[in-house]
Structure 1
Amino acid sequence: MRLNHATTLLKKSLAPVALACLSSLPASAANAQSNVATEDPSAPWNWSDKTVFDAVNHVRAGRDLTPAAWPGEARVAVLLSFDVDNETVMGLRTGEVSIGPLSQGQYGHRVALPRIVKLVDDEAIPSTFFFPAWSLKIAPEQATLINESGHHEIAVHGWIHERNTSLDAATEARLLAQAMDTIEDISGKRPVGYRAPSWNHSPATLSIVREMGFLYESSLMHDDRPYELVQDGKPTDLVELPVDWILDDAPLMNPLGNRYMNPRDIMQVWIDEFDKAWEEGTLFLLTLHPHVSGHRSRIVALEGLIKHIKAKGNVWFATHEEAARYVRTQAKMDQ
C-alpha cells in the first residue's frame, strides 16, 4: 500500500514538470521535428520491403552440411581453433602503440602459444591456428612450432587484425591477398581457411573470400552446425564453420572487464555446449586466444574440457580444413 501511494505521489509531482517541458516547445516546432523523424526515408521504420530483404539476405545460411556420420562413426566433430592475435590487437591495428599492451602481445607468442601447442600435441588433438599476418611476421618461429607435429593447420585472420568493416573493398582485398602471401611464405603452405578479424563481414567480404578461392569461412553465427553460405539468395559452394561468443574465451576472461568469469565456470559452459553437440550429433567448435587462455590459471579450463570430451568418447577431433573437406565430400559439393 505504501509503495502504491508513493508511486501515485511521484507521478503527480512529475506531471507538471513533463507538461512544462512540452509546453516550452512551440507547437509548430514540435510537430516539425516529429514530421522530420517520421518522414525520414533513411529511418529503418520507413525502409521498403526490398531494402530490408536485401540487407537480411546479402549473407545467409543455406543448407545444413552436418553429415549422417562423422569419420569413425563418431557422434560429434570437435574443432579447436586458436586466434593468434598477439600484438595486433594490443595496439598495432589502431596505431595506439603502448609498451604495456604490447608486452601482453609478446606473452602470447613467447609463453602462451608454446604452452597451448604442447597441450594439444600431448593430447594428440589436431587444431587450427588463425593468424593475422603481422602476428606471424613478428614471430615467425610460431609457424615452426605449430608445423612440427604435422597435425595442425595455419589459417588466415587478416593482415594486422584490421577492422575490415571500415575499409573500402579494394583495400580489404589487397590486405587479404598480402596476408595470404605472407602466411604462405612463412608457414610453407597457402591457407585455405578464412576467419574475419573481429568476426564480422563488410558488404564486400564474402565476395572477396570467394574470389580468392578459400575452402571454408569461419566468422559467422547463423547456426551451430556446418552449413553452406548463401549470398544474395544464391548458394556459394563455400562451407561455413560457425563460431559463437559463448564459445570464445576473450569476452569472459578479461580481468579488467565487467563480464569477467572464473575460468572454471567458463569451462562448465563449454562442457554443457559440448554435451548438447554430442547429443545432437553435430559440431563443437571452440575459439581461444593464446594470449588469453595460455595463462597458467586459465589453461586449466581447456585441460578440463579436453578431459571431459575424451571421457565422453566417440568424438572426431579435426582441423577446420579436415572438417570442411569431409562435409563437402559427404554433401557431394565437389561433384
Structure 2
Amino acid sequence: MRDEVQPWQWDEATWRGHVGRVRAGDRLVPRRWPTGARVAVALSFDSDHETIPLRDGETRPGRLSQGEYGARAAVPRILRLLADFDVPASFFVPAVSALLHPGEVESYVAAGHEVGVHGWIHERNMLLAPDDELELASRSLHTLERLTGVRPVGIRTPSWDFSDATLRIIGELGLTYDSSLMADDEPYELVENGRPTGIVELPVEWIRDDAPYLTMERYGAPRPYTPPRELLTIWRDEFDAAYAERGLFQLTLHPHVIGHRSRLVVLRELIAHIAGHSGVWFATHAEVAEQARALITRTPADSVSP
C-alpha cells in the first residue's frame, strides 16, 4: 500500500490520460430544431421496477413490491398523461424488467414511444469485467429487440455508471447515442482518447432527475427531502433557460418514483407549462440524437460552438 502511487504523485501524462479517455467533443445543436422549433424537449423514464432490489440480492416482498408499483400503477398513469398531451417519450428498460412485464414494453412501442437499453438487471457495470459488461449489454439489446420488434439505438447505463470499457461496448453494439454523462446541457459528440467516435451524448444531470429528490430507503440513508411541488419550480426554470438558449431540455424520471398520485401532478403541470410555449419540439431521445448526429458531418458553422 505504501508503494502505491498516489494521485498527487501522478505525472502530467498520467492525469491527462485519465481525463482524456472519454471527453466531450463538438456541441451538436442545430440552428433550428424540426418544425422550426426553438427548443427540443426529451422526456425519459427509467423503468427499473423490481431490478433495483434484485441487483442487490434483495428477494423479500417489501422492496420488490415497491418496484412492482412502477409497473402496476405508475406506468399506466404515465402513458395516459403522455397521451393527453400527445407527447412522445423514451423508456430505458432493464431487460429483466422487460421480461417480467413484456406487455408493458409492447405498449411503449404501440404508443409511439422509444425503448432504450438500460442494462440487464440494473447491474453496476463499473464492478464488471469488460467481457461481462459486453455480454450483458448485448443480451439486453437483443432481448429488447425480440420483445418489442424494434432494435434500440440508444443506451442509458444503469445508475449512469461508465466503466473504462463502456464507450467501446457502445460502439461495438452499433448504438448511435448514449445518455449517461454530464459534460454539457446540450448534445455533444463523444471523444475517446482525442478521437471523435460519431456517438452522440444526450447529457443527463442529477438536477433533472426525480430520484435524488424523492427516493426513500427504509434501512438506508436516502429520504425524500424535497416537496414534490418544489420540483416544478426547479424543472420549470431548467426548461425556461433551455428555451431562452434554443437548446435541449432533457428530463430523467422513474415510474416507481414520479408515478405516485401527488407527484404525477407535478409532471402534468410541467408538461402543461412547456406545451404553453410556441416553438417546442417534443421528441424521443433517438429523434434528438438523430438531429444532433447529422451535424457531425457538417461544417462547424452549422452547429453552435461551446
Q: Same fold (TM over 0.5)?
A: yes
Matched, 1:219 2:180: yes
Matched, 1:232 2:193: yes
**For residues 291 and 234 of structure 2, what CA distance do their matches in structure 1 show?**
28
Alignment equivalent of 2:266, drawn from 301, 318, 321:
301
Deviations 1:16-45 (A, max 9, x none): xxxxxxxxxxxxxxxxxxxx97xx552111
Matches within 5 A, 1:18-167: 40-89=3-52, 91-149=53-111, 151-167=112-128
Are the counterparts in 2 of residues 67 and 331 from structure 1 also a CA contact under 8 Å? Answer: no
**For residues 74 and 174 of structure 2, what CA distance do their matches in structure 1 show?**
32
* Unaligned runs of at least 5 residues, structure 1: 1-35
Residue 104 of structure 2 aligns to which amino acid in structure 1?
Q
1:329 positional shift = 2.1
TM (norm. structure 2) is: 0.93
1:94 positional shift = 1.6
Q: Give the SS at the match of 2:196.
A: strand
Alignment equivalent of 2:283, drawn from 308, 318, 321:
318
Deviations 1:273-299 (A, max 9, x none): 000000001100000000100110110
**For residues 227 and 195 of structure 1, what CA distance do their matches in structure 2 show?**
15
Residue 266 of structure 2 aligns to which amino acid in structure 1?
A
1:146 positional shift = 1.1
* Unaligned runs of at least 5 residues, structure 2: 299-306
1:178 positional shift = 0.6
- How many correspondences in the alignment? 294
**For residues 7 and 297 of structure 2, what CA distance do their matches in structure 1 show?**
40
**For residues 96 and 4 of structure 2, what CA distance do their matches in structure 1 show?**
43
1:73 positional shift = 1.4
**For residues 16 and 149 of structure 2, what CA distance do their matches in structure 1 show?**
43
* Structure showing greater Rg: 1
Structure 1 runs, 4 residues or longer, greater than 4 Å off: none
Deviations 1:103-122 (A, max 9, x none): 01111111101110111112
